């Protein structure tokens, strides 16, 4: 039988094959740990978290889980939502479309949650968002580019994201390319919805930003032998290469093979490459890569210090602060619902609350956070540093 973890306040209980930890997190993931008390259904407000805890996005999902747990724990310690504690049910999406659907169905049909934090990489594993859409249950994703859902015409009525908008970051990156005289560009990407969306936006915006797309190279999802393409690039001699892939480690592998084959072309990436875990593994070949990243307008440092004190280290993955914000979006919406009778969607659409990844959390008509300003960064001497 698959173990189910329930978070409460203290103690571990085993009942008929179910594992209960004594604060409010339940889920089908064996890697989660307990933080908090068992409550009866009438005492709690049920919230779900559909996060990638095994598979290709696990590093991100594990960091997201720590942030979600912290936000829930802090809220419960301070009295919960209108006097009721949050019971958090965690399901592992396994970083896979089928797993994402299964996790969302479990949360909505079995656990009967009122809202969901997730999906991890919801732009890559979009099928899961059909579930919350069909059930008309609010889902706030910490690491989903809404442009990827919109590109594939996925309904987003009940889906929001605290991840950063792509249009602004691509314009910022292309402006830097033009400024530095790198105008002839080759785009390399995989067929993953996220990678494909990034490439689509890059190509679409190129002309207005006075760039020329020399060619576009596309790979199957998970493909990691880029040597033939790199040799071709050496002969093509573009000013720069922009890479967009499902996961940061695939970008790092492209960089590694480019380095090994002596490709002397400036390489550009998107914000998700700023990942301490990837830097630790591929640091030497990441030197010099240029990318955009949101200006830290929220309080990153305080959050990371809390997580470091709690877990002994800062979690990996680029979406920790976004997950913390996503959880507070859900908590604020539920508070407005139980206090004033506001619909959850209405509460999110009219929201203006302090954030961590951004200074203030607001959403636009495409359910993306607003007010994000991007800076240009690079990897220098093993560190992520700002260029401008």
CA distances from 135 to 27, 116, 129, 131 (A): 19, 12, 10, 6
Averaged pLDDT, 53-79:
96
Residue 6: is its pLDDT beyond 50?
Answer: no
**Residue 42 has what pLDDT?**
63
Distance between CA 388 and CA 65 in Å, rounded?
32
Q: Are strands 374-380 and 383-386 parallel, antiparallel or unpaired?
A: antiparallel
Of 211 and 373, the one with more pLDDT:
211
Strands (DSSP E) contained in 172-260 are 184-190, 212-219, 240-244
CB 373 within 8 A of CB 298: no
Nearest one of 363, 318, 21 to 158, comparing CA atoms: 363
CB 209 within 8 A of CB 174: yes
CATH fold of the domain at 166-294+373-386: Rossmann fold (3.40.50)
Distance between CA 256 and CA 361 in Å, rounded?
37
**Residue 96 has what pLDDT?**
94
Residue 57: is its pLDDT beyond 60?
Answer: yes
Helix 248-260 / helix 227-236 crossing angle, nearest 10 deg: 60
Q: What distance, in Å, lies between the first and last C-alpha atoms of the chain?
A: 53
**Residue 123 has what pLDDT?**
93
Q: For residue 326, give both structure tokens.
A: 């996503």
**Residue 359 has what pLDDT?**
87
Question: Which DSSP symbol is given to 369?
Answer: B
pTM of the predicted model as reported, rounded to 2 decimal places: 0.85
Q: How many Cα atoms sit within 13 Å of 170 on the Cβ side?
A: 24
Q: For residue 185, give both structure tokens.
A: 């560009």
Residue 33: is its pLDDT beyond 80?
Answer: no
Residue 51: is its pLDDT beyond 60?
Answer: yes
Residue 44: is its pLDDT beyond 80?
Answer: yes
In this chain, the answer to whether the domains covering 5-163+319-357 and 166-294+373-386 adopt an identical fold is: yes
CB 240 within 8 A of CB 176: no
Which pLDDT band holds residue 11 (cuts at 50, 70, 90)? very low
Which pLDDT band holds residue 30 (cuts at 50, 70, 90)? very low
Burial (CB < 10 A; 0-12, 13-18, 19+), residue 122, is buried
Distance between CA 303 and CA 288 in Å, rounded?
28
Question: Which DSSP symbol is given to 51?
Answer: E
Averaged pLDDT, 306-311:
93
What are the domain boundaries of the chain?
5-163+319-357, 166-294+373-386
**Residue 298 has what pLDDT?**
67
Which pLDDT band holds residue 297 (cuts at 50, 70, 90)? low
The predicted-structure confidence for 126-148, as pLDDT tens digits, reads as follows: 999 999 999 999 999 999 999 99
**Residue 40 has what pLDDT?**
43
The predicted-structure confidence for 224-274, as pLDDT tens digits, reads as follows: 999 999 999 999 999 999 999 988 888 889 989 999 999 999 999 998 888
3-state helix, strand, coil in the chain (%, to 5): 40, 25, 35
Which of 40-44, 89-93, 251-255 bottoms out in mean pLDDT, i.e. has the lowest?
A: 40-44
Task: Tell me the percentage of the chain whose pLDDT exceeds 70.
Answer: 88
Q: For residue 197, give both structure tokens.
A: 């969306």
**Residue 372 has what pLDDT?**
87
Distance between CA 136 and CA 127 in Å, rounded?
15
Distinct helix (H) and strand (E) counts, the chain: 12, 18
CB 276 within 8 A of CB 266: no
Residue 28: is its pLDDT beyond 90?
Answer: no
CATH architecture of 5-163+319-357: 3-Layer(aba) Sandwich (3.40)
Residue 318: is its pLDDT beyond 50?
Answer: yes
What phi, psi does 345 have (nearest 5°)? -60, -45
**Residue 205 has what pLDDT?**
97
Which pLDDT band holds residue 23 (cuts at 50, 70, 90)? very low
Q: Vertex 309, ends 306 and 311: CA angle to 5°? A: 105
């Amino acid at each position: 039988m698959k173990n189910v973890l329930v978070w409460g306040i203290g103690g571990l209980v085993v009942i008929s094959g179910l594992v209960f930890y004594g604060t409010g997190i339940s889920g089908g993931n064996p890697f989660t740990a307990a933080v908090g008390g068992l409550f009866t259904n009438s005492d709690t407000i049920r919230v779900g978290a559909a996060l990638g805890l095994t598979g290709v996005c696990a590093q991100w999902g594990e960091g997201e889980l720590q942030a979600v747990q912290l936000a829930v724990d802090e809220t419960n310690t301070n009295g919960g939502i209108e006097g009721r504690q949050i019971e958090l049910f965690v399901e592992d999406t396994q970083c896979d479309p089928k797993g994402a659907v299964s996790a969302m169905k479990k949360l909505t049909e079995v656990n009967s949650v009122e809202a969901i934090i997730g999906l991890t990489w919801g732009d890559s594993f979009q099928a899961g968002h059909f579930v919350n859409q069909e059930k008309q249950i609010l889902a706030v994703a910490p690491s989903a580019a809404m442009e990827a859902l919109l590109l594939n015409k996925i309904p987003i009525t009940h889906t929001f994201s605290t991840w950063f908008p792509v249009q602004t970051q691509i314009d910022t990156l292309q402006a830097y390319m033009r400024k530095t005289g790198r105008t002839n560009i080759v785009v390399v990407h995989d067929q993953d919805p996220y990678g494909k969306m990034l490439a689509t936006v890059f190509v679409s915006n190129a002309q207005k930003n006075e760039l020329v797309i020399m060619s576009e190279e596309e790979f199957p999802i998970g493909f990691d032998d880029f040597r033939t393409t790199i040799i071709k690039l050496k002969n093509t001699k573009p000013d720069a290469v922009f890479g967009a892939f499902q996961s940061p480690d695939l970008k790092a592998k492209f960089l590694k093979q480019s380095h090994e084959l002596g490709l002397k072309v400036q390489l550009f990436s998107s914000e998700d490459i700023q990942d301490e875990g990837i830097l630790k593994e591929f640091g030497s070949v990441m030197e010099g890569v240029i990318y955009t990243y949101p200006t830290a307008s929220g309080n990153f440092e305080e959050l990371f210090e809390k997580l470091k004190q709690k877990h002994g280290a800062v979690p990996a993955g680029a979406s920790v602060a976004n997950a913390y914000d996503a959880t507070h979006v859900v908590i604020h919406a539920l508070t407005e619902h139980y206090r004033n009778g506001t619909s959850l969607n209405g509460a999110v659409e009219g929201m203006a609350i302090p954030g961590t990844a951004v200074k203030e959390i607001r959403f636009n008509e495409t359910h993306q956070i607003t007010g994000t300003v991007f800076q240009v960064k690079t990897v220098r001497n093993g560190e992520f540093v700002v260029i401008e």
